[in-house]
Amino acid sequence: MAQCGLPDDDAELRRLLTPEQYRITRQNGTERPFDNAYWDHKEPGLYVDVISGKALFASLHKYDSGTGWPSFFRPADPTEMVEIPDPASGEITIAEVRSRTSDAHLGHLFSDGPEPTGMRYCINSAALRFVPVDQLRDQGYEQYSAWF
């Protein structure tokens, strides 16, 4: 399911997603820390949008932030990120992060990440689907193989 078309309507989206995926991506939910699929996931590969299949993050840019959510210091494709500033959230939080193609709520961007960017994309696992390195070609993500 690489970079497929989007579902035609909300009913189809509800059918395709788990209730948790729908709550996170469409109702701006947040998973519980340390109780989600990818917070401690270390396999090399690509994390893609659970709705659109667009590449979002690579395992090469993932790190343990100690927060209990998958954290990345940069996106795989910055053009796929929509950052909505949240001025009321405090000094460290910069923005809500959404997927440009599917408009899925992904998580939040913070300014307390590691070098080289200083950014922390704190992302809900339910908004992601993981594609292992050995499946990149078969699933239509061959252009990212050179990263690994």
Reported as a single tens digit per residue, the pLDDT across 29-80 is 999 999 999 999 999 999 999 999 999 999 999 999 999 999 999 999 999 9
Domain membership flag for residue 59: yes
How many C-beta atoms surround the C-beta of residue 78 within 10 A?
A: 9
**Residue 1, in any domain of the structure:** no
How would residue 4 be classed by pLDDT, with cut points 50, 70 and 90?
A: low
Catalytic residue among 106, 122, 131, 136: 122
Rounded alpha-carbon distances, angstroms, from residue 92 to 22, 75, 108: 27, 19, 11
The rounded distance, in Å, linking the Cα atoms of 76 and 48 is 9
The reported pLDDT for the residue numbered 2 is 45
**4 catalytic, yes or no?**
no
Let me know if residue 147 belongs to a domain: no
Which domain covers residue 128, as residue numbers? Answer: 10-141
Describe the strand order of the beta sheet including 128-132 as a list of residue ranges.
55-58, 45-49, 128-132
Q: Judge whether 3 lies within some domain.
A: no
Q: Looking at the domain assignment, is residue 33 inside a domain?
A: yes
Tell me: pLDDT of 93 over 80.
no
Residue 74 lies inside a defined structural domain of this protein: yes
CATH number, domain with residue 18: 2.170.150.20
Is residue 63, in this structure, part of any structural domain at all?
yes
Number of domains in the chain: 1
Mean pLDDT of the chain: 93
Mean pLDDT for 112-130 is 97
Q: What is the share, in percent, of the chain residues with pLDDT greater than 90?
A: 85
Of 86-90, 116-120, 141-145, least confident by mean pLDDT is 86-90
Q: Is the pLDDT of residue 1 over 70?
A: no
Whether 146 maps to a domain, the answer reads no
